């Protein structure tokens, strides 16, 4: 839907129903992709990562890997397609995105019910965990977000952490939900030293 400048829609009897431009509000409502992005795809790369990820939150694919592979173009990353890796493909996609961009909204996902598991890693398990991120907006341009990198010990980032009196800690994500929403942060667990 995003890449082609012109898309034509036909019904089951091959009657012309309209173009992407004619039907953009209907398409936007069905896909949760903003009408402005459908009209001007060049604006896609100015949107927060979390918002782009939310577009796939309700998508279904036959193979688990295809959920990640169909998003490669939206995030402008390169990664090999390894069929048979299952859910690991989505983790690899997020790692590749993190290597290319320092937009902290990639960590703004919300965990689905995790049962007895108290702590999770920094990355989402599937695009479905971004389902509430359709209105995420960056507070500042990601150019001003802290630089981070991935290594064999996880994510390395130098930034301010908000510590509460009860021993909890928050990592600010430089984004907010909606134009007037409060800034988003994630809870992090302190493991000792400078490790969270």
Residues 133-148 pLDDT 10s = 999 998 876 666 778 8
pLDDT reported for residue 4: 75
pLDDT reported for residue 38: 79
Distance from C-alpha of 175 to C-alpha of 182, rounded to nearest angstrom: 9
Distance from C-alpha of 133 to C-alpha of 106, rounded to nearest angstrom: 10
pLDDT reported for residue 114: 60
User: In which residue ranges of the chain is pLDDT below 70?
Assistant: 1, 113-118, 141-144
Question: Locate tokens 């859910």: which residue?
Answer: 87
pLDDT reported for residue 142: 60
pLDDT reported for residue 52: 93
Q: How far is CA 37 from the centre of its chain?
A: 16
Those residues with Cβ within 8 angstroms of residue 140's Cβ, 6 or more apart along the chain or in another chain: 174
pLDDT reported for residue 117: 66
């Amino acid at each position: 839907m995003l890449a082609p400048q012109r898309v034509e829609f036909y019904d089951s009897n091959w009657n012309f129903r309209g173009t992407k431009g004619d039907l953009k509000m209907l398409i936007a409502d069905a896909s949760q992709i903003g009408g402005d992005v459908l009209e001007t795809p060049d604006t896609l790369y100015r949107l927060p990562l979390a918002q782009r990820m939310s577009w796939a939150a309700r998508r279904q694919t036959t193979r688990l890997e295809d959920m990640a592979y169909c998003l490669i173009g939206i995030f402008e990353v390169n990664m090999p397609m390894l069929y048979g890796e299952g859910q690991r493909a989505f983790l690899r996609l997020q790692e590749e995105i993190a290597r290319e961009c320092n937009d902290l909204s990639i960590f703004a996902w919300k965990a689905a019910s995790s049962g007895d598991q108290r702590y999770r890693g920094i990355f989402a398990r599937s695009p479905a965990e971004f389902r509430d991120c359709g209105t995420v907006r960056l507070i500042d341009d990601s150019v001003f977000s802290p630089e981070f990198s991935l290594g064999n010990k996880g994510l390395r980032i130098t930034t301010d952490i908000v510590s509460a009196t009860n021993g909890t800690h928050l990592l600010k994500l430089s984004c907010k939900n909606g134009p007037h929403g409060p800034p988003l942060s994630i809870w992090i667990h302190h493991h000792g030293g400078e490790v969270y």
